[in-house]
Amino acid sequence: MTTATTTAPGTAAPPKPATMAQALRRALRDAMAEDPAVHVLGEDVGTLGGVFRITDGLAAEFGDDRCTDTPLAEAGILGAAVGMAMYGLRPVVEMQFDAFAYPAFEQLFSHVARMRNRTRGAMPLPITVRVPYGGGIGGVEHHSDSSEAYYMATPGLQVVTPATVEDAYGLLRAAIASDDPVVFLEPKRLYWSKADWSPDAPATVEPLGRAAVRRRGSSATLITYGPSVPVCLEAAEAATAEGWDLEVVDLRSLVPFDDETVCASVRRTGRAVVVHEATGFGGPGGEIAARVTERCFHQLEAPVLRVAGFDIPYPPPMLERHHLPGVDRVLDAVARLQWEAAS
């Protein structure tokens, strides 16, 4: 895997406010400029620049043969990407919304995830599948799903999701550079989040599979990712009023999973809550809680708890505030971590 290029010291523009959408667009642009094998394809990614304008300007700069509008046929889009990758290209597919990706599952599960194994390593598929996901934007059905558990349960796929502007750039560059398929989940509600960032001097891209500690703490660990990271950071600040000093771990990569960072945190705090928007039953939190329990059992002061979306199809926009994990639900879970044992 390659790493992102950096500008020579002393020539980079100083950091300034940038959105996650801008960082993603710059990552695509830089990857296409660096490697002519990188092609972008999807519904409305060309002239329109995508529903969320992540591909804005790419067709004008690189031509519509490298940033290509496709028919409304997700299985066909991903099937075309499989063929492109088999012939040496490095396609980046955009699925317009999370649940729009479901028609492409057969291609993803039966071919994209299996090709390296099927060919005894002779034919890896360097495909990046970008999927805007999650709620918080008032979207209707099929526009707010959190589908990560499906991808996590499929061997052969890497699954990553950024929560910061810097990670949006770095993780997407790493995903495109990977020789194996990556499902890149983009939290829609964070597209317009901002941070000081210099596109001319992006941080060195770490290998996929590393979590980050976003807030140090000693009382308990909040394990989360993507759109729930800001929620957990807000909850951690609010928790100080109750005397709890919460650590927040941003997984960044769901597959590969960073057991080392997660377990080091939980062994130190002794308590953990997993927070995500996906449903609780069969959701990522069950696997994460099991891994933490297996590896940290003797250091745990309480069972690992989960705060998740309800086990229902995604609700109408007027009700999503109840469905999505919020600060109050996170703090309620923290309060149930058997604190009497610490007194």
Catalytic positions, please?
143
Residues 6+ apart with CB under 8 A from 30: 4, 5, 173
φ and ψ at 98, to 5 degrees?
Answer: -45, -55
- Please report, as a single letter, which amino acid is at residue 220: A
> Ramachandran region of residue 208, left (φ > 0), alpha (ψ -120 to 50) or beta?
beta
Contact assessment for residue 49 and residue 55, using Cβ atoms and an 8 Å cutoff: yes
Residue 236 burial (CB count, 10 A) = 25
Measured at the CA of 256, the angle between CA 4 and CA 188, to 5 degrees, comes to: 70
53-87 as b/e: b if 16+ CB within 10 A: ebbbebbeebeeebbbebeeebeebbbbbbebbee
Give me the torsion for CA of 303, 309, 312, 313, rounded to 10°. Answer: -150
Q: Is 142 helix (H, G, I), strand (E, B) or coil?
A: coil
